[in-house]
């Protein structure tokens, strides 16, 4: 893994990718199908939720989540039935090999603040496992298990939160994996995904409650955020805060604004044979595109902890967004006279800096490397 990281660092030091493009997102959905029984598949839709294509329906078994590793041009799929995480080509979804095996029903996967991949277990001892991005097992991060764990996220202090579907709760762990007790133990009847908002509130998709509930940063129940869903599972956000949520019982995916107001049925019921969506991922394909390369750098240094946006970009573009390796937006900044991105509290690794103005975008890869 160290040799791989060194190679990646060297490549980025000598090449910078700029991409000029409109944002045409790709939407990836895992289909739980008949749960314990097939059919199961991983699907891709276009930026409007149309033109469905099946990427893999033979190497996944009750798929739970999809995680992109953009620098490797692959995505991972966790399969609850087999205890395996598989590796696939981004371009066509082709199966490559097994990324990790022997997991107790893997469900959600996310890259953590330390750059490692965190994996939840539905069965087994319910602890959270960590892996290097090449599939090397690191450790059991937690000593306390969470039964039927199926949602995870971190607060701004680096504390980890894990939802229990069967336990109707959310448990908190500190940044070292030590158990901090139950964070939420009421108002839930089958939580799946959990996601922190920028203001510190926590959204919880409540599968049996058929809604999305909102809690404050102390775990206090604020209220129902979104109603009218049927078995919600799978959520992702656009840069403007709009969100897509899997509407499992209706075999569809819905779109909502940042205030939770319904916008549209984004992927219509049964499109492409969709049965039971349980992971919904919005991917910006420009993050890994290597076309239109220019010998110009608009962020310096390319490796470090503190990065400067060049003045020429500040005058021509409106905003800058930072994305992590999985394509998740980690920060948005409005451009001013001068601009710096302080990355000292971020995990080491590759990030994408995207400057935007009226649909025109330029993208550069950088590496956060601490002294």
pLDDT beyond 80 at 350 = yes
Residue among 79, 70, 75 nearest 87 (CA): 75
Alpha-carbon distance of 213 to 168, in angstroms, equals 13
**How does 121-130 read in b/e, with b if 16+ C-beta sit within 10 Å?**
bbeeebbbbb
pLDDT band at residue 14, thresholds of 50, 70 and 90? Answer: very low
Q: Which of 35-39, 105-109, 229-233, 296-300 has the lowest mean pLDDT?
A: 296-300
pLDDT digit string, tens, across residues 200-245? 999 999 999 999 999 999 999 999 999 999 999 999 999 889 999 9
Which domains, and CATH codes, for the chain? Answer: 1-23+293-371 (2.60.40.10), 24-288 (2.120.10.30)
Question: Which residues contact residue 154 at a Cβ distance below 8 angstroms, ignoring those fewer than 6 apart?
Answer: 112, 113, 160, 161, 196
pLDDT beyond 50 at 10 = no
Does 317 or 25 have the greater pLDDT score? Answer: 25
Take residue 339 and report the two structure tokens written for it. 């601009």
Average pLDDT of the residues of the chain: 90
- For residue 181, report the phi and psi dihedrals to the nearest 5 degrees: 90, -175
pTM (two decimals) = 0.86
Alpha-carbon distance of 251 to 229, in angstroms, equals 11
pLDDT digit string, tens, across residues 73-123? 999 999 999 999 999 999 999 999 999 999 999 999 999 989 899 999 999
pLDDT at 15: 38
pLDDT at 337: 61
pLDDT digit string, tens, across residues 235-292? 999 988 999 999 999 999 999 999 999 999 999 999 999 999 999 999 988 776 554 3
pLDDT band at residue 5, thresholds of 50, 70 and 90? Answer: very low
């Amino acid at each position: 893994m160290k040799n791989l990281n060194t190679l990646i660092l060297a490549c980025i030091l000598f090449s910078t990718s700029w991409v000029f493009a409109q944002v045409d997102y790709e939407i990836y959905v895992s289909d739980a199908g008949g749960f314990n029984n097939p059919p199961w598949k991983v699907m891709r839709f276009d930026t409007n939720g149309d033109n469905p294509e099946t990427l893999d329906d033979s190497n996944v078994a009750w798929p739970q989540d999809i995680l992109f590793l953009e620098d490797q041009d692959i995505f991972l799929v966790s399969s609850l039935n087999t205890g395996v995480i598989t590796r696939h080509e981004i371009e066509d979804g082709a199966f490559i090999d097994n990324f990790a095996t022997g997991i107790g029903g893997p469900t959600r996967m996310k890259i953590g603040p330390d750059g490692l991949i965190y994996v939840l277990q539905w069965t087994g001892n319910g602890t959270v496992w960590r892996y290097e991005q090449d599939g090397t097992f690191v450790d059991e991060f937690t000593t306390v298990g969470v039964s039927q764990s199926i949602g995870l996220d971190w607060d701004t202090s680096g504390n980890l939160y894990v939802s229990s579907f069967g336990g109707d709760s959310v448990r908190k762990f500190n940044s070292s994996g030590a158990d901090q007790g139950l964070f939420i133990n009421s108002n839930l009847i089958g939580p799946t995904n959990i996601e922190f908002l920028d203001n510190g509130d926590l959204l919880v998709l409540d599968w049996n409650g058929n809604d999305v509930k909102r809690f404050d940063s102390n775990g206090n129940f604020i209220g129902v955020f979104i109603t009218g869903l049927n078995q919600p599972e799978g959520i992702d956000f656009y840069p403007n805060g709009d969100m897509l949520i899997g509407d499992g019982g209706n075999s569809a995916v819905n779109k909502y604004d940042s205030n939770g107001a319904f916008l549209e049925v984004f992927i219509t019921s049964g499109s492409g044979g969709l049965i039971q969506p349980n992971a919904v991922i919005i991917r910006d394909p420009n993050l890994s595109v290597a076309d239109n390369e220019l010998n110009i750098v608009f962020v310096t240094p390319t490796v470090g902890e503190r990065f400067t946006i060049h003045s020429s970009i500040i005058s021509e573009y409106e905003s800058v967004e930072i994305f992590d390796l999985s394509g998740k937006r980690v920060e948005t900044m409005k451009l001013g006279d001068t601009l710096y991105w302080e990355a000292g509290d971020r995990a080491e690794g590759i990030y994408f800096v995207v400057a935007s103005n009226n649909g025109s975008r330029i993208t550069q890869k950088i590496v956060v490397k601490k002294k």
